[in-house]
Structure 1
Amino acid sequence: MAPVVAAPRAARSEALQFDHDCLRLMRERLFRQAFRACGAYRAHPTLAGRAHTALSALYTDPGHLDTEASVRHALQALAMDEPRARILMAAHLMAGHLPPQGHDLIGLLKAAEASRIPTATAYLQALRDSDQCRRDAKALPLGQPLFCLSRAEVHQALAQQGMPLRRRDDLHWQDEFAPGDVLAHAESVHAQFDVDPRDSIHRLARLSYAFDSAQPERRAQLAASLVRRYGPPNGAPGAQGESTWALPDGVVVRLQAPRPEGVWLIYEHGPRGESRAQHLQSQQAQMELDRVKADASLL
């Protein structure tokens, strides 16, 4: 049987109805209703791809976050050759929500750009900026330009060092890694990311290592290693004997004095740390507004 192809006028009418039934509710942030309305189009002969794309986007909302469901719907939409699904897939790949094997990130972005999906150009520029950042990077934790990498690339880089992902928090954009055997007496490694809502790209804002407090000589060893790599401390002296190194690429390295809970070595990208706090605060405020609006819509 030949595929069903809607006539141009009918197709336009169906698209307008889909916009009213599904996308309008998304724009108005009435997510409970949007899930039902958009889901009703999953079996539509011409709009199923758009329905799965809409559902994928809905599952990225912080108040309804379900990364696995978002990826699943994006994959279904991509299989239906829905152009908007390509940018969602690219975002998931860069955030490390699915393995890169079998997916061409650049190909997805170029195809999305050819389909005039606005965010695709920003993503491609971010990849070019990342390449330049790697060439200019001064902060090299574990010998790598981690602050130039996507979240997925940070995961991959640490895994290659024998430091697998231990816990992931997509709502607050932070991860914990097992230290492996790379860092003597380290107990854990933590990464925090900033996510700008304008492009949803995860950028490393802070990387910290926690070391065993029962090894007081470890701080002296760490300090000596940092001096060899970055020179003498050049930042403002921190509290309680903290040593700091301010690097030209905007990253500040802080080695804390021993405390009962241990010794912390922290790499922090100052501007990203500030914007991360602002973005998380805005996200929480928006979630509260959405909750109030959702409740009001049911009264």
Structure 2
Amino acid sequence: MFSKLTRSKRLSLFGFAVTAVALAGWGVAASRSDGAIERRPSPAAGATSLLGGASPSQLMSVSSGTTGTDSISAEAIKPAAPLSDEGFKSECVSPLRSERYAEAIEACQRYANDERLGGKAHAALAAIYSTRAYRDVTASVTHAERAAELGDARGKFMTAIQMLGGYSTRPFDLSFVRKMLEDAQRSGVAQAGMLLNRIADSEQCRKNKQTFTLLNAPVFCMFRPEISQVLIARGMSQRNADAQSWADIWRPGEVLPSSSQAELLYDRSPDDEMLRLAQFTYRFDPIAASDQLPLVVQALRQKYGAPSRSSSKELVAGSSMIWHAGTDVDITLTRLSDGSAELRYAQTPRASERESHLAREDQLSRQARIRRQQVAL
């Protein structure tokens, strides 16, 4: 069903942490601010669980150089007990819920190849690697897609989240995402309904005749991978992606050849942690600005009318022109003090909330990294 990972470098550039949503159904709190120290698993307990129940003394006997089977107890060499639902819950799910992620990873990996419990194990691993403590997108995507292949509901849910965010290795297909979420919802993943509602909201936004469009697309209604598809179809190519600031940088190509780059800034609501476009900005270097801005201003006037506000008749350094276009969308053309310029399309509610959401994410990520390090201290 799923293609092999061919964009691991690309995925790692745009790291993500969808903690609250990805861990939905596992019983893990969205965030913790009490500074609780993650409990370290007992080395002996970890060893015995991996070696079929051999006790520490038996392990010492095996490692002391003795080769004869008569010196090894029957307990030490008997086959491992069959993997059970109870074992999975206590060894994999329980430490996951307690945010003892290192312990959970070790245990869940034991179940990953089990014919009956493998899907659940891969889904748990996908959730762990998506947390702020790890931010390993490639690992999370790999485990989620494997879990989905095995028919696991949470795996399908995680795969849908990753596709909506633009992290999946699959070409984006909204109908496929909807099917994955519907399957997950029918299997009891209640949070899938929230994302289905977000898709319905997006589709309703596109149908609204008053919706603002850029490049003939309702970009502020669309999901990140859909916007990327639009830009690629227009001949643009991605230059970079900044994980820390939820930003994509594109080469404009022939879309607006006088500009040096297009910068897309996304916002991510704490409610569903989906990336939504907040600002689309074309940037012009000083030489291009001096040469091309008169034509840009003329084109904007012809398309959107006279500016709603203008700080000067001529676009000189430090001045700007603003157009109100569509619902909650402002277009601002600014000449900066160094002679460069920027043309910004902003969905004003998202743009105004973005900084506070980024600050919140930075704080939560820092707390998660501290808790992970506390395990070894």
| Normalised-by-shorter TM-score class | 0.7 to 0.9
- RMSD of aligned alpha carbons: 2.4
SS in 1 for 2:358: helix
CA distance in 1, matches of 2:184, 2:237: 32
**What is the Cα deviation at residue 16 of structure 1?**
4.4
TM-score after normalising by structure 2: 0.70
CA distance in 1, matches of 2:346, 2:98: 37
In structure 1, the residue matched to 2:116 is 46
Gap regions ≥5 residues in structure 1: 1-12
TM-score after normalising by structure 1: 0.86
SS in 2 for 1:84: helix
In structure 1, the residue matched to 2:16 is none
In structure 2, the residue matched to 1:213 is 286
Matched, 1:227 2:301: yes
Out of 183, 198, 223, the residue aligned to residue 111 of structure 1 is 183
CA distance in 1, matches of 2:355, 2:347: 12
Out of 219, 222, 239, the residue aligned to residue 146 of structure 1 is 219
**What is the Cα deviation at residue 171 of structure 1?**
4.4
* Contact 2:281–2:343 under 8 Å retained in 1: yes
In structure 2, the residue matched to 1:161 is 234
In structure 2, the residue matched to 1:133 is 205
**What is the Cα deviation at residue 154 of structure 1?**
0.5
Out of 80, 96, 101, the residue aligned to residue 26 of structure 1 is 96
**What is the Cα deviation at residue 101 of structure 1?**
6.5
CA distance in 2, matches of 1:61, 1:95: 15
Letter in 2 for 1:282: R
- CA gap of 1:24–1:193, structure 2 versus 1, over 3 A, is farther
* Contact 1:29–1:290 under 8 Å retained in 2: no
**What is the Cα deviation at residue 186 of structure 1?**
1.2
CA distance in 2, matches of 1:23, 1:57: 11
Out of 304, 308, 333, the residue aligned to residue 255 of structure 1 is 333
* Contact 2:319–2:336 under 8 Å retained in 1: no
**What is the Cα deviation at residue 158 of structure 1?**
0.5
- CA gap of 1:240–1:86, structure 2 versus 1, over 3 A, is same
SS in 2 for 1:168: strand
Letter in 1 for 2:360: S
Out of 252, 258, 265, the residue aligned to residue 343 of structure 2 is 265
Greater relative CO, 1 or 2 (CA 8 Å, sep 6+): 2
Q: What is the total number of aligned residue pairs between the two structures?
A: 287
More helix by percentage: 1
CA distance in 1, matches of 2:154, 2:296: 47
Gap regions ≥5 residues in structure 2: 1-82
CA distance in 1, matches of 2:200, 2:223: 12
Matched, 1:286 2:330: no
CA distance in 2, matches of 1:183, 1:18: 55
SS in 1 for 2:116: coil
- CA gap of 1:48–1:234, structure 2 versus 1, over 3 A, is same
* Contact 1:167–1:176 under 8 Å retained in 2: yes
**What is the Cα deviation at residue 163 of structure 1?**
0.6
**Range 257-266 or range 175-184, more displaced:** 257-266
CA distance in 2, matches of 1:208, 1:191: 6
Letter in 2 for 1:62: R
In structure 2, the residue matched to 1:296 is 374
Letter in 2 for 1:99: R
Q: Deviations over 1:224-264 (max 9, x none)?
A: 22222222221475992111123341122111015426211
CA distance in 2, matches of 1:240, 1:24: 58
* Contact 2:264–2:280 under 8 Å retained in 1: yes
In structure 2, the residue matched to 1:182 is 255
- CA gap of 1:31–1:287, structure 2 versus 1, over 3 A, is farther
Letter in 1 for 2:237: P
Matched, 1:93 2:163: yes
In structure 2, the residue matched to 1:172 is 245
- CA gap of 1:197–1:44, structure 2 versus 1, over 3 A, is farther
- CA gap of 1:89–1:257, structure 2 versus 1, over 3 A, is same
Letter in 1 for 2:349: P
